[in-house]
Amino acid sequence: MARVYRDAYGVPHVRASTVADLAEGQGRVTAHDRAWQLEHLRRRATGTTAEVLGPAGLPWDRLARRTGIAATARRAHARLRPESAAFVAAYVDGVNDGLHDDAPELRELGLSPAAWEPWTPLAVFLAQHLLFASLPGKLWEARAREVLGDDARLLSHEGPLASGSNAWAVGGDRTATGFPLIGGDPHRGLEHPNVYQQVRLSCDEFDVLGFAFPGVPGIQHFAHAGEVAWAITNAMADYQDVYDERLRRTADGVEALGPSGWEPASARTEVLGGEVLEIVVTARGPVFAGSVDEGRGLSLRAASVVLDDLGFDAFLPLLRSRTAADVMAALDDWVEPVNNVIAADRSGAVRFRNAGRVPVRPEANRRGVVGPESAWTGWLDELPAHDVAPDGQVVTANERRGPESDPIGTSFAPPHRAARIRALLDGRRDLTTEDFRAIHDDDLLPTLALFQDLARELDPGPVRETVLAWDGHMSADSRGAAAFAAWRSALVRRIAAEPVLAPLTEPLVDNPVLAPWLDLTSKVGFAIESLVRAGTPFGIDVRAHAQAAAEEAVGHPATWGATHVFQPLHALGFTIPALPVSGDYDCVRCTSSIPGVTDVCSRGSVARYVWDLADRAAGGWVVPDQLALWVDGELAPIVTDWERLTEEP
């Protein structure tokens, strides 16, 4: 039987003799701490949120069912290795043992959480990452190219809800202790409760602490096992394709037009919110938009669906890792999301690799929506990997990593965060946890020079003068940042209202779930750097709009933090204090606003960490649930001494 201990911040430390007991204990304490979140995640994975959220849940439920999240999870669960299946089963037993109805949300709804199935953790993991890769971007790109042709590239940028993270490491010759350091922070939509849970898992085989997904056993992405530590960022890989399907109904059922003619497609119906939902799967994949009655649809082909594998067989080997080489070998079983991985160990080794499965197919598949003839022909055999010298460093922030990135994907984050982190590391020695924490907290806007050059072209005025005098830091108490943000948003709205872009307000798929990725103003906001550099993109006079925007922004808020406040999403609309936060979307301190739409921070660092290979307790970690620390850019201490922890009854 597992025993649970807590530190001063309530972080659970789960201790058991066997792996099975440990997994059961992790499931039980997760259910105790996150009962509502687990119920919500289970419903998202099974497409049943509308049963408790009402009509607002229907768009997601349709997408979840039509893309076959639960069906894929069942197939992947059936293919698990026996010890992986036992690990997941023990976790599910713990969840079911620990579920209760005493969470505020469950009390408000009068709801008791339902029991989990053996495959539920796999479905939860898949639901968390369904929109983490290429699908939304390909829908946008197909429509943008249809309207703008090749010039659509000017609207390409990391999207408002796209994946993103920072991670970096230095070899032991660069640190005060002589051992490697790893730092970083994953960026996702900010939710309440948080998408990650701090946890420590200790048994006779291993002792690992890090960030786990509630509802998923083990610690996958960010962990410190004493002898070795690892971290990831999203590699921005392209492992999902969208196919344009022709569909028809015959006396024998449903058919889809394949590369060699009409072929059978599977079809069944489900009842959702009083409507009959037809679930169609072609040889390419599940149809998520359109319908048989319309004669057209869009299907999704993804690595996880093709392989019937979600990478869960990597979980136990990861926990058992003792060296950086062990971590990299464990990730041979990883599927998706495709990640950049950094690992370091106490021998001084620091390694980098891409982990996951990337299909080989025609170039057209990587650029938008394609026809059924564009088939997959295999998998990339060797993804980038290299070792880092003891006096070297490695930085990854979703950027294009030179030619090695070309086979992996087509759209990457701007280079700004990666370049800034490198600049903050270059030439430095005797680095410490505090130095890495300060890098987390860096709020300099890397595009400052570009926008100040644009401001110099404008007529004199209060906004122009404030922006030119500003130091470029998106600090919560900065008046210059407030003036800049108001000017930027006004400029974005004016450009987005140009008639040449009006057709883009009609997206390829009209689905509220996908709307954040397909919203024109959001796209213009995140592409504003490219548009300013272009001068007259699509025939739009950016300078003239910048002048008018500066005049419009004269009454801007007093400080950036007046409007740039932390506001995580909650399914029932529960709120927490709206505290001002520093940073913005291209800063290392990623607390994203959506220029032209909102200054509110609804996406950002869902965890921050420093892993010190000299001593785990010398590092630090934090999640937004530790609100005061997170807002102030501080880290909570990592406690590893069992004598300093309090055992729960």
pLDDT in tens, 418-432: 999 999 999 999 999
pLDDT of residue 576: 84
pLDDT at 160 over 50: no
CB count, 10 Å around CB of 514? 22
Note whether 459 and 585 are same-domain residues: yes
Note whether 568 and 524 are same-domain residues: yes
pLDDT at 158 over 70: no
pLDDT at 159 over 50: no
Please state the rounded mean pLDDT for residues 350-365.
97
Upstream peptide bond of 516 is cis (omega within 30 degrees of 0):
no
Structural domain for 390, as ranges: 164-234+315-440
CB count, 10 Å around CB of 226? 16
Note whether 380 and 447 are same-domain residues: no
Whole-number Å distance between alpha carbons of 370 and 410? 16
pLDDT at 382 over 60: yes
Task: Tell whether 158 is covered by a domain.
Answer: no
Task: Tell whether 356 is covered by a domain.
Answer: yes
Whole-number Å distance between alpha carbons of 237 and 240? 9
Whole-number Å distance between alpha carbons of 624 and 59? 28
Rg of the Cα trace of the chain?
24
DSSP strand pairing (253-258 vs 385-388): unpaired
Task: Tell whether 613 is covered by a domain.
Answer: no
Q: Residue 163: which pLDDT band, with cuts at 50, 70 and 90? A: low
Please state the rounded mean pLDDT for residues 14-33.
98
Note whether 385 and 409 are same-domain residues: yes
pLDDT in tens, 247-297: 999 999 999 999 999 999 999 999 998 899 999 999 999 999 999 999 999
Task: Tell whether 634 is covered by a domain.
Answer: no
Note whether 433 and 484 are same-domain residues: no
Q: Residue 368: which pLDDT band, with cuts at 50, 70 and 90? A: very high
Task: Tell whether 323 is covered by a domain.
Answer: yes
Task: Tell whether 455 is covered by a domain.
Answer: yes
Residue 360 backbone phi and psi in degrees, to 5: -100, 125
Please state the rounded mean pLDDT for residues 116-141.
95
Note whether 412 and 273 are same-domain residues: no
Of 108, 131, 154, the one marking the end of a domain is: 131
**What is the overall mean pLDDT for the chain?**
96
Note whether 466 and 578 are same-domain residues: yes
Please state the rounded mean pLDDT for residues 397-414.
93
Whole-number Å distance between alpha carbons of 58 and 481? 39
Note whether 322 and 188 are same-domain residues: yes
Those residues whose C-beta lies under 8 Å from the C-beta of residue 398, and which sit 6 or more positions away, are 158, 163, 164, 165, 233, 234, 235, 236, 340, 412, 413, 417, 418
pLDDT at 156 over 90: no
Whole-number Å distance between alpha carbons of 421 and 297? 43
CATH number at residue 262: 2.30.120.10
pLDDT in tens, 628-639: 999 999 999 999
pLDDT at 204 over 90: yes
Task: Tell whether 373 is covered by a domain.
Answer: yes
Note whether 116 and 259 are same-domain residues: no
Percentage of the residues of the chain whose pLDDT score is greater than 90: 96
Residue type, 229: A
Q: Which residue's entry shows tokens 């394709």?
A: 241
Q: In Å, what is the CA distance from 301 to each residue of 69, 135, 239, 290, 357?
A: 13, 9, 8, 16, 13
Of 307, 327, 357, the one marking the end of a domain is: 307
Task: Tell whether 619 is covered by a domain.
Answer: no
- Report whether 187 contacts 590 (CB < 8 A): yes
Of the candidates 133, 143, 142, 127, the one whose C-alpha atom is nearest the C-alpha of residue 60 is 127
Note whether 59 and 74 are same-domain residues: yes
Please state the rounded mean pLDDT for residues 403-422.
94
Note whether 474 and 523 are same-domain residues: yes
pLDDT at 458 over 80: yes
CATH number at residue 569: 1.10.1400.10
CATH number at residue 18: 1.10.439.10
Note whether 229 and 364 are same-domain residues: yes
Overall domain count for the chain:
4
pLDDT in tens, 566-613: 999 999 999 888 999 999 999 999 999 999 999 999 899 999 999 999
**Could you report how far apart the first and last alpha carbons of the chain are, in Å?**
13
Of 307, 334, 353, the one marking the end of a domain is: 307
